[in-house]
Amino acid sequence: MVRAAVLIACSLMTTMALAETRSDTFRQALDAARNDDWDTLSRMEAELEDNHPLESYLEFHRIRAGLPELSAEKVIAYAEKYNDSPLPDDIRDIAITAYGKAKRWDALLAVSNQVPGPVTLQCYYYQARLASGDDSALQEAARLWNYGSSRPDACDPLFSAARNAGVIDEKAIWERQRLAFEAGNYSLMRYLNRSLEGSEYETAGNWLKKLYRSPDELENLPKGLSKEQKAALREDGFYRWIYTDTVTARKWYEKHAKRIKNEEARQTLARRLAWYSTIRGIEENREWLDNWLEDHSDVELLSQRTRRAIIEQNWDAVAHWIAKLPEQEQADSRWQYWQARALEATGQEDTARELLQKAAQGRNFFAFLAADRLGEPYRFSDAPYAASTPFEPPAAVNRVQLLQELEEDTAAHREWLWLLWNSDREQQQALADYALKQQWYSLAVEASIQSKSWDTLAWRFPPAYRAQFEKEALENNLDPWLAMAVSRRESAFNPRARSGVGASGLMQLMPATARNVARDVGQDRPTQAMLFDQNVNIGLGTRYLAELLEQFNGNRLLALAAYNAGPHRVDNWLEAEDDKAVPADVWVESIPFRETRDYVQAVLTYRVLFIGLHDDQPRTAQLISDKENESRYSLSMLE
């Protein structure tokens, strides 16, 4: 028995050593392919088994390096051979760019099985169509050109052809200048204005620039303009004026609205005026705004107007504006909760309780608030998964595993997404279950989203990296479930996640924040690569969260808002005077940034779900603590 156990152990160790050797060999081969080191690649490939699961990645770089000289037939053959992965789409995009730069138009059209998505590739594609004699490409050029921001340099030849053909004329330039005005792109406006010199739109273009700086000048438009130009400038000037001085713009509109002859434009501008009057809480515009809202069933604006009434704790107005919402909206837990709060404030406790009972049926922040107000447990509506047939992992799953072992997480995630997009719902759910069993937490979450399995909470809220969160939370005197909820919201438990602004890892730490935290605790300066290490990221992230909690006297609502938007903003969101302080629920609703408002609600909700699913704590009174709920939110909280 002992000898058999030793033999088995030796066999396992040998197998693991071989697997590690093969992984290292492939890593060297992939690095060589990326660096166009073909001699090294050939040596490494000789050591790999035939038909290696990731051979497509090595061949990808051979094709990539051969462009644009490589024939379109070889690109197409590669795409057909590996058509069960995202790589064919990638190589086609690369080929379109390479052929486009080399002006190999026939080859470009041969590899383009449809109109590409990115604008740069579309511009190459339509240049190829034009070169083949298809003049309809000029109309597509005009469509791509008519945009309020700059376009890629690759589009310039296509746009020049359209200009020379008269498809893009002075009127089109003027119309694009107006789009740039609307987008707030003053530099593009100036650039386009130079092309209007000497044309019938020169004066209009000059005045458009002037109105951008001084929209109140719309009253002083010169006589030489055409009727259409004057109408357009008046609309554009007022559009800008609403943003720069909403009160004065409203006064002008009340007197001169009929001067905007185009009915559709007038309604669009009135809505914009109502929007800024609402979100800025401009009391001087309140009478006009409320009269406008009475006549317009605009769900988004009615929601914002209700928010404003909540922030002001004008409970009669809260009830009034919620009643203006469509019935489907009123049935949402959020509005049921606030309607109940309004009823409580006006002494209608029994009716309020009925609404809270309805609101508490959901599984979201306001449903949990309602349950806490009633003193009742939360309703999770968890649906366990039961497979209808045995699951046989497709080849892509093996590639995902190997890529993860190589720490090629971006490639692994793209393979996973491609597989999900090309699977039916039954297979998507099977993949979610498989990913969870493999502890591929972020992939399980992704599969739950793609399959719309909203009630299978095991996939959506797995206890990812629980031991590490508990260890770091203990060291920092922090609730581990709160840190896990932050990670779930920030990255969906993807250790290699990186945002557009550079926030990295599980808890999406900015490099500067990570350096500051590490310095404060005497740790080495973390590199970018270190932030993708789950242990490093969780350690620094939990420490930073603990620091914010200390800064905000243990208040999680304030600390979470600071984690998302920055501590300095939270100070600005607290009333300076105690007599203007608001309750916890009102303060959350008053957060000006929708992203941060949703963030605070989501993290607190996720924490409740994690506790309910993975802890033995009661499913009640977990959302907001008594201290947080009893506090009145003003700057005095920080003293």
Rounded CA-CA distance 128/237 in Å is 40
Least confident of 1-10, 353-362, 368-377: 1-10
The DSSP secondary-structure symbol of 438 reads T
Mean pLDDT, the chain, whole residue set: 94
pLDDT over 90 percentage in the chain? 90
Q: Name the band, by pLDDT with cuts 50, 70 and 90, for residue 11.
A: very low
Give the tens place of pLDDT for each residue, 281-292.
999 999 999 999
Catalytic residue among 140, 235, 415, 490: 490
- Sign of the CA dihedral running 617, 623, 628, 630: negative
CA dihedral 639, 569, 484, 447 (to 10 degrees): 160
Give the tens place of pLDDT for each residue, 511-530.
999 999 999 888 889 998 89
259 contacts: CB under 8 Å, gap ≥ 6: 234
Q: Name the band, by pLDDT with cuts 50, 70 and 90, for residue 6.
A: very low
pLDDT greater than 50 at residue 449 = yes
Span 39-43, average pLDDT: 95
Domain assignments of the chain as residue spans, ordered by start: 1-48, 53-114, 169-296, 395-454, 466-638
* DSSP reduced 3-state for 634: strand
505: alpha, beta or left? (left if phi > 0; alpha if psi -120 to 50)? left
Cα-flanking dihedrals φ and ψ of residue 185, to 5°? -100, 85
pLDDT at 23: 84
pLDDT greater than 70 at residue 1 = no
Tell me if 395-454 shares its fold with 466-638.
no
pLDDT at 333: 97
Rounded CA-CA distance 582/392 in Å is 56
Give the tens place of pLDDT for each residue, 572-606.
999 888 889 999 999 999 999 999 999 999 999 99
**Tokens, residue 327:** 């019935």
- Beta-sheet strands, E only, within 444-563: none
The number of angstroms, rounded, from the C-alpha of 143 to the middle of its chain's C-alpha atoms is 27
456 contacts: CB under 8 Å, gap ≥ 6: 382, 383, 384, 385, 429, 432, 448
Q: Name the band, by pLDDT with cuts 50, 70 and 90, for residue 246.
A: very high
Nearest to 192 by CA among 179, 203, 208, 176: 176
Burial class (CB in 10 A: 0-12, 13-18, 19+), 156: exposed
Span 231-235, average pLDDT: 96
User: What is the full DSSP assignment across 336-387?
Assistant: HHHHHHHHHHTT-HHHHHHHHHHHTTSSSHHHHHHHHHHT------------
pLDDT at 205: 96
pLDDT at 12: 37
Q: Taking every pair of C-alpha atoms in the chain, what is the biggest distance, in angstroms? A: 104
pLDDT greater than 70 at residue 38 = yes
pLDDT at 524: 87
Neighbours of 573 (CB within 10 A): 18
* 198 close to 223: Cβ distance less than 8 angstroms: no
pLDDT at 381: 83
Span 151-163, average pLDDT: 97
pLDDT greater than 70 at residue 257 = yes
Rounded CA-CA distance 282/279 in Å is 8
Write out the CATH class of domain 395-454.
Answer: mainly alpha
Count of residues making up the chain: 639
pLDDT greater than 60 at residue 215 = yes
pLDDT at 113: 85
pLDDT greater than 50 at residue 486 = yes
pLDDT greater than 70 at residue 17 = no
Rounded CA-CA distance 438/620 in Å is 31
* 440 close to 413: Cβ distance less than 8 angstroms: no
**Tokens, residue 176:** 């694009």
490 is annotated as an active-site residue? yes
* 203 close to 174: Cβ distance less than 8 angstroms: no
Least confident of 199-208, 231-240, 573-582: 573-582
Three-state helix/strand/coil letters over 163-208? HHCCCCCHHHHHHHHHHHHHHCCHHHHHHHHHCCCCCCCHHHHHHH
pLDDT at 296: 93
pLDDT at 522: 86
Give the tens place of pLDDT for each residue, 86-117.
999 999 999 999 999 999 999 999 999 899 99
pLDDT greater than 90 at residue 443 = yes
Least confident of 42-51, 77-86, 102-111, 121-130: 42-51
Give the residue with greater pLDDT, 5 vs 399. Answer: 399
Q: Name the band, by pLDDT with cuts 50, 70 and 90, for residue 20.
A: low
Span 46-69, average pLDDT: 95
pLDDT greater than 80 at residue 172 = yes
Give the residue with greater pLDDT, 270 vs 388. Answer: 270
* 483 close to 469: Cβ distance less than 8 angstroms: yes
Q: Name the band, by pLDDT with cuts 50, 70 and 90, for residue 50.
A: confident
Q: Name the band, by pLDDT with cuts 50, 70 and 90, for residue 5.
A: very low
pLDDT greater than 90 at residue 321 = yes
Cα-flanking dihedrals φ and ψ of residue 633, to 5°? -85, 105
Q: State the alpha helices, DSSP H only, in 375-424.
A: 395-405, 409-421
Q: Name the band, by pLDDT with cuts 50, 70 and 90, for residue 7.
A: very low
3-state DSSP: the chain helix, strand, coil percent, rounded to 5? 70, 0, 30
The DSSP secondary-structure symbol of 478 reads -
* 257 close to 270: Cβ distance less than 8 angstroms: yes
Write out the CATH class of domain 466-638.
Answer: mainly alpha
pLDDT over 70 percentage in the chain? 97
Span 18-23, average pLDDT: 62
Span 472-487, average pLDDT: 97
